[in-house]
Structure 1
Amino acid sequence: MLTVLLVKLVATAVVVIGVSVAVGKLGPRLGGIIAGTPIVLGPGYFFMLQERPAAFIESAALSTLHALVATLLFSICFVVSAHRMGALASLGLATLCWIPAALLFSLMPGGVLVAVLMYGVVLLVAEAVKRALKLNQPVVVATSGWFDLLLRGLLAGVLVSVATTLAARSGPLLSGMLVGFPVGLFTIGWTLHQRYGADVARATVSAAQQGMLSLVAFGVVTATFASITPPLVTFLLSLGASVGVSALLFLRSQWRVRRMLARQSQGR
């Protein structure tokens, strides 16, 4: 058992750190797309697809979708509280919001469609909060140091290894919920708050809310195809859907930047 846990921990940490390094090395275009890939959900469901039956995967994926809705509340709580509280205090409060929210959403009736609709509604609330707070884009280029990468990789590895091995014995609800915990937002919020201040951390976490749609795409495809395609095919389809959504979101953001620059040039 311990060997299995360690293998999953190390494998997940290597994937998370490798993807994080690639984001900084490949430039803004490819890096922006890769940044939206499911670096925690991917390893988690890769292991679960190999070890668990289709019914388990479907239920776990639905639980993950509910956890992603709770993650939006996590981000809202952080951007509201981080302005007046320290990094760990605001992240602790956000986590305390995430836990009961994830449990509550998991008890709501309905399947994947209802979960996606809930995500859409809460995303609109998150966007409204962002506009009300008038959060600006980060004014610094925040780079990840090796401490950030190792911390993110270690936390993700522990989460995935526990979720796919120990928690899986308790059923798909807990497994799906754990792999949906916002490890990335937690570490990003912590390190940026400590290094660049609350404003940069709040703006960065807020900007990641729409990017989470790629994770929603991963969960939807996993839940839909787990019982009708082989495990590896399901994983590749989910990964492809996630990368596709990330690419569309990135291209949309690039188009908006070009349009804004064009308007500024015309006004001169």
Structure 2
Amino acid sequence: MSPDLHFLLFLLLRMAIAAAFVVTASIITERSGPVIGALVATLPVSAGPSYVFLALDHDAAFIAQGALASLPVNAATIFMCLTYVVLSQRHGLVASCGSAVAVWIVLASIIRQFDWTLSAGLAANLIAFGICIPLLAGYRHVKMPLVTRRWYDVPMRAALVATLVAIVVSTSGWVGPRISGIIALYPVVFSSIMVILHPRIGGPPTAAVLANSAWGLLGFGMAIAVMHVAVVWFGSAVGLCLALGTCIVWNLSLWGIGRRARHKARPLP
């Protein structure tokens, strides 16, 4: 088998694995409502496969440096969500989603100009989420209409994530860890939520899903920081597992806290 054919087949296999992962996450999201759906959406549905496949091709130093670039990009993602949430209350999909993506691209372009340290990346996240979480709070509670899934919804999400994985894997060798870390963090899942749900149920309900994702996205940023530190000390495999575990524990904790709060708010019989 020629090296080019071997690379192509291996790339297609990686894309298929990433697609299967996002299909499973999408089904869970659609059946669980906006709160649980938002928590699932902030799991590493797209970034996770990208980093796993990067770890197969590169050493731990590459992954650790990529994580440093990814960390401040997480702050750009929460500003992207805030942009969409605010604009979608009065504007259509093109204006709302287009502006949100433009904000992410501008911020990511600024981020790539700097060499980030762990402390600077954490500070960027704390500042960004300190600003955005209070602003998003008023948009979280919206009555959700019934969502009927169309045949192309899940395939489209799977195709977007598979394409992201293909771009990250195939270009990582020549763009380096910094650009790979930025590309890996492009918010494919949030973009697909906007594109799929906004025309169907309107801006405010779709915005509620993204607004509910803020705390989960904060945990995702913590997971990236954990990955960087753990990869440096223990290698890529352990670092990736600890990052995933951080996301899961954080989101389960958020779910538990929310469930207890709803139970206490429920009127006594």
Q: Into which bin does the TM-score normalised by the smaller protein fall?
A: 0.7 to 0.9
Paired letter, 2:101: T
| Residue equivalent to 1:207 | 212
Q: 2:179 aligns with which of 174, 186, 202?
A: 174
Matches within 5 A, 1:1-268: 1-23=7-29, 34-108=40-114, 110-131=116-137, 136-140=141-145, 142=147, 144-261=149-266, 265=267
Structure 1: any 5+ residue segments left out of the alignment? Answer: none
Paired letter, 1:137: V
CA-to-partner distance for each residue in 1:214-235, whole Å, 9 max, x for gaps?
3213211211111222332222
In structure 2, how many angstroms separate the alpha carbons of the residues matched to 1:113 and 1:144? 42
* SS of structure 2 residue aligned to 1:171: helix
Identity %, equivalent residues: 24
102-111 vs 226-235, which moves further: 102-111
How far 1:58 sits from its partner (Å)? Answer: 1.1
CA-to-partner distance for each residue in 1:192-239, whole Å, 9 max, x for gaps?
111101111112111111111232132112111112223322221111
How far 1:112 sits from its partner (Å)? Answer: 1.8
TM-score (norm 2): 0.87
Are the equivalent residues in 2 in contact too, given 1:36–1:243 (CA < 8 A)?
Answer: no
* SS of structure 1 residue aligned to 2:152: helix
Are the equivalent residues in 2 in contact too, given 1:138–1:199 (CA < 8 A)?
Answer: no
- Summarize the Cα distance change of 1:60–1:144 in structure 2 as closer, same or farther, 3 Å threshold: farther
Paired letter, 2:49: P
* SS of structure 1 residue aligned to 2:91: coil
Paired letter, 1:237: L
Are the equivalent residues in 1 in contact too, given 2:68–2:117 (CA < 8 A)?
Answer: yes
In structure 1, how many angstroms separate the alpha carbons of the residues matched to 2:66 and 2:139? 36
TM-score (norm 1): 0.87
Are the equivalent residues in 1 in contact too, given 2:63–2:236 (CA < 8 A)?
Answer: no
How many residue pairs align between the two structures? Answer: 263
55-64 vs 79-88, which moves further: 79-88
